[in-house]
A and B are shown apart, each in its own frame.
Chain A
Amino acid sequence: DARVTQTPRHKVTEMGQEVTMRCQPILGHNTVFWYRQTMMQGLELLAYFRNRAPLDDSGMPKDRFSAEMPDATLATLKIQPSEPRDSAVYFCASVLRLAGTYNEQFFGPGTRLTVL
């Protein structure tokens, strides 16, 4: 069955290292989101893409985070350099399209990031 996939599921790294997280949205979905989940803040929107174009990344710390969609089947979220406060679970979600009954948002399993 169609689902959003994310890799890696877990990542432990040291402060200052680069981290890259990958997401494969559901085939045919044209809208992709990156969220970060922490106990304190809940689900925070980091970035949003439609038809591979980044339309809002205001939720990301610009100096260290970057998000791209090299093609329709791959979205990436990169942190360079990583810091301990980046420790969280990062979710990717995809939507068929933001209209009518097609706006159901499906989440991936998440990448649990720990920065030491």
Chain B
Amino acid sequence: GQQLNQSPQSMFIQEGEDVSMNCTSSSIFNTWLWYKQDPGEGPVLLIALYKAGELTSNGRLTAQFGITRKDSFLNISASIPSDVGIYFCAGHTSGTYKYIFGTGTRLKVLA
């Protein structure tokens, strides 16, 4: 099935560093969702974005809905060891039921 391009695929960072990841699509979405998945668990919703250009924060996480509506970015500031996991983006178009998921960014934090 269709997947969104998400980059980077994986990254190692030092504790305390900021992290950036993004998701791009060839299609326009009305909603962007960002999830984190810990090993052995289901994806947990972190941030939802509904308007082009919207910037939304959740603690140390900040996500932006791209102006073109074809991309989205997630930033994590001052990373900590519990930020380890896989981060997924998902796009949704109003009037449809399908959520298109990114391929995931695997984050590893070095203490």
**Residues of A near any B CB (own CB < 8 A):** 4, 6, 31, 33, 42-45, 48, 50, 55-56, 59, 91, 98-101, 103-110, 112
Contact = CB atoms under 8 A, between A and B. Distances in A.
Contact of B48 (A4, A43, A101, A110): A101
Interface string B73-111: 000000000000000101010111111010110000000
30 contacts: A4-B42, A31-B97, A33-B99, A42-B101, A42-B103, A43-B88, A43-B101, A44-B1, A48-B97, A50-B97, A56-B97, A91-B42, A98-B92, A98-B94, A98-B95, A98-B96, A99-B94, A100-B50, A100-B94, A103-B92, A104-B45, A104-B48, A105-B45, A105-B92, A105-B99, A107-B35, A107-B44, A107-B45, A110-B41, A112-B40
B41 A109 contact: yes
Interface residues of B, number: 25
Contacts of B40: 110, 112
Interface of B: 1, 3, 31, 33, 35, 40-45, 48, 50, 88, 90, 92, 94-99, 101, 103-104
**Majority SS of interface residues in chain B?**
loop
Nearest to B102: A42
B1 A45 contact: yes
Contacts of A103: 31, 92, 94
